[in-house]
A and B are shown apart, each in its own frame.
Chain A
């Protein structure tokens, strides 16, 4: 998956133009996890939403398995499993019914839906609550259900925006273990996070994003070597300081 020079700006309520993403480029291959690391408001979610076809870039392109996601959004959506932190399952349907509903919307056969449901329930350890409605689930259980919904159609590309956000340590571990398993299954995975330990543990490649700009785009090892730093945290705060992010926080 290639992200080529994408930019995106918004006009806020005071009619002021905000450049959320500026000329961002990176790529992620099958069996790799790419991490976008940045503070809140850095442009991580906007970048992921552009990749997932929810937003159109002002310029640049996203190519998924050779397809331009703006020219063939439906085909690209079939290849992408997208989860953002502001997506929340709610309502009176049970988890199983939600999976069936999204399976139907992805035009899967009933047999395929059942097979995928069984597989995801097992992988995400959801057997105890899959027949309960989301209203009766904890935030960790809801997150597992959201992950299962986003992957019901068995996509090749997985895009998770802040997947461990708001989760306790146990639920976070389930999510990170699950992503490792997906990597093992040769999926192309892009995550965003502001939690450095998550990025360090999971990602093969890392993009540091500040004020909509990708300031680093390399392996963790190379980034550390380049900055002669022991931890990503040091690099992160050095950029935050030099770009005025800390002063403005």
Chain B
């Protein structure tokens, strides 16, 4: 039975890899698309930030400060934070509204306290940036004034810290004892625990959908399925062969998509000067094996559902109609569990798809439990067997030949 299933799988793989469009969309596009997309986003963001920093801004000032040196101090602080030209003859609201590099500052005093209002156009990025810089300059002035006041009272501001906080990191990211490195790794692990299960779930299911419908309902429509059925091959082998083919293709496409995504994120962070984030995880050899098993289970589960529904449907249109709501539910599982951490209650590991997400999160976060993993493994394996059985049953019945062409 397995030999025939492998022959069918091999034929399907050969068929799909002869198709240039499939090679492009399955292999080339994910590996190229994400790096290019994120790279461009990184470059544009970087160029935008640089343009904002290099731009020459105009600050219209309306001052009611009585001491001339007070305004000078304010203007000095503004000059320190950016490239600002000062127009000290009142607020020009029209200019601020129309010109993205113009902001206004109304400044006065209420007793000993400086009272400032920053005027800017919130829909313009540069105006918002300039307003933020003005606020920064005013807060710098505040710090200087506080320090000067404390010193005038004989108090060293440095001595005003009564609490000192140090970090000690535990868990999978802290194994070599370097706290800063462990924090960075922990941050990366958190990102992976959020993104990887979600993207794998979506990619594997979505990746199986098109191919799965084509190899079942599509073959019915084209009349190529009945050629298989009149040969000396068991219907279970046909069902299994198609499922194995789908599983391989969905794992391949999702792994390539993930590789592209990680390269893309790395490129984007490099352009934004955040490439010090370690692009590695420390889950150990056992962790990788468990992750592999989990991914295979997810691929088998998705392929099983899609093969079953595709075999039951009488046309590609009908199959798409049946599978789309299931895809929506899977999508909902992915989104609703995205921010959750692993190690949930036992019943989470008994729910298909959700148990796979938490299984992966556990592996990344180091909260793996044998009982939970076994529950996930048994539940999903049983479902896969059930799907193969039901698909074979459909292939054995006359239902498999029912075709509706539009």
Interface residues in chain A, defined as those with a beta carbon under 8 Å from any beta carbon in chain B? 49, 52-56, 74, 77-78, 80, 82, 84, 86-93, 97, 101-102, 104-107, 133, 146, 149-150, 153
Q: Are A102 and B14 in contact (CB under 8 A)?
A: no
Contact of B230 among A56, A77, A89 (CB under 8 A): A77
Q: At the interface with chain A, which of B116-124, B166-174, B221-229, B267-275?
A: B221-229
Contact of B401 among A55, A74, A101 (CB under 8 A): A55
Q: Are B14 and A107 in contact (CB under 8 A)?
A: no
A55 to B396, CA, bound (A): 10
Q: Are B226 and A86 in contact (CB under 8 A)?
A: yes
A89 to B233, CA, bound (A): 18
A88 to B232, CA, bound (A): 19
Residue B19 at the chain A interface, CB threshold 8 Å = yes
Given A86-B226, A93-B18, CB of A105 within 8 Å of CB of B232: yes
Instruction: Give min CB distance, B218 to chain A, whole Å.
Output: 9
Instruction: Give min CB distance, A189 to chain B, whole Å.
Output: 16
Residue B62 at the chain A interface, CB threshold 8 Å = no
Instruction: Give min CB distance, B236 to chain A, whole Å.
Output: 12
Q: Are A54 and B15 in contact (CB under 8 A)?
A: no
Q: Are A84 and B19 in contact (CB under 8 A)?
A: no
- Contact residues in B for A92 (Cβ distance below 8 Å): 14-16, 18-19
Q: Are B18 and A101 in contact (CB under 8 A)?
A: no
Known: A77-B230, A105-B7. 8 other contacts (CB 8 A): A55-B401, A88-B224, A90-B224, A91-B224, A92-B16, A93-B14, A101-B11, A105-B4
Residue B398 at the chain A interface, CB threshold 8 Å = yes
Q: Are A54 and B230 in contact (CB under 8 A)?
A: yes
19 A-B pairs, CB-CB below 8 angstroms? A54-B229, A54-B230, A55-B398, A77-B230, A77-B232, A82-B230, A87-B227, A88-B224, A89-B227, A92-B19, A93-B14, A93-B15, A93-B18, A102-B227, A105-B4, A105-B7, A106-B231, A106-B232, A149-B227
Q: Are B19 and A86 in contact (CB under 8 A)?
A: no
Interface residues of B in 216-255 (CB under 8 A from A): 222-224, 226-234
Contact of B223 among A88, A93, A97, A107 (CB under 8 A): A88
A229 to B404, CA, bound (A): 40
Q: Mark B1-32, 1 if CB is under 8 A from A, else 0.
A: 00010011001001110110000000000000
Q: What is the total number of residues of chain B having a CB less than 8 Å from a CB of chain A?
A: 24
Instruction: Give min CB distance, B189 to chain A, whole Å.
Output: 42
Interface residues in chain B, defined as those with a beta carbon under 8 Å from any beta carbon in chain A? 4, 7-8, 11, 14-16, 18-19, 222-224, 226-234, 398, 401, 403
A217 to B232, CA, bound (A): 31
Instruction: Give min CB distance, A7 to chain B, whole Å.
Output: 15
Q: Are A74 and B223 in contact (CB under 8 A)?
A: no
Given A55-B398, A78-B232, A92-B18, CB of A104 within 8 Å of CB of B7: yes
A101 to B224, CA, bound (A): 13
Q: Are B15 and A84 in contact (CB under 8 A)?
A: no
- Contact residues in B for A107 (Cβ distance below 8 Å): 232
A88 to B405, CA, bound (A): 14
Q: Are B7 and A101 in contact (CB under 8 A)?
A: yes
- Contact residues in A for B231 (Cβ distance below 8 Å): 77, 102, 105-106, 153
A89 to B219, CA, bound (A): 10
Interface centre among B222, B230, B398, B401 (most CB of A within 10 A): B230
- Name the residue of chain B whose CB is nearest to the CB of A93: B15
Instruction: Give min CB distance, B385 to chain A, whole Å.
Output: 23
- Contact residues in A for B15 (Cβ distance below 8 Å): 91-93
- Contact residues in B for A82 (Cβ distance below 8 Å): 230
A93 to B403, CA, bound (A): 24
- Contact residues in B for A101 (Cβ distance below 8 Å): 7, 11
Contact of A105 among B18, B222, B228 (CB under 8 A): B228
Instruction: Give min CB distance, A229 to chain B, whole Å.
Output: 36
Q: Are A87 and B224 in contact (CB under 8 A)?
A: yes
Instruction: Give min CB distance, B6 to chain A, whole Å.
Output: 10
Contact of B14 among A97, A104, A146 (CB under 8 A): A97
Q: Are B7 and A88 in contact (CB under 8 A)?
A: no
Contact of A53 among B7, B230, B403 (CB under 8 A): B230
A92 to B19, CA, bound (A): 7
Instruction: Give min CB distance, A149 to chain B, whole Å.
Output: 6
- Name the residue of chain B whose CB is nearest to the CB of A80: B230
A150 to B14, CA, bound (A): 21
Interface centre among B18, B231, B232 (most CB of A within 10 A): B231
- Contact residues in B for A49 (Cβ distance below 8 Å): 401
A93 to B18, CA, bound (A): 8
A82 to B19, CA, bound (A): 29
A88 to B228, CA, bound (A): 11
Contact of B232 among A87, A97, A133, A153 (CB under 8 A): A153
Instruction: Give min CB distance, A172 to chain B, whole Å.
Output: 20
Instruction: Give min CB distance, B227 to chain A, whole Å.
Output: 5
- Name the residue of chain B whose CB is nearest to the CB of A55: B398
Instruction: Give min CB distance, B395 to chain A, whole Å.
Output: 11
A49 to B402, CA, bound (A): 13
Instruction: Give min CB distance, B82 to chain A, whole Å.
Output: 61
Instruction: Give min CB distance, B57 to chain A, whole Å.
Output: 61
A95 to B98, CA, bound (A): 70
A74 to B234, CA, bound (A): 8
- Name the residue of chain A whose CB is nearest to the CB of B16: A92
- Name the residue of chain A whose CB is nearest to the CB of B230: A82
Q: Are A105 and B401 in contact (CB under 8 A)?
A: no
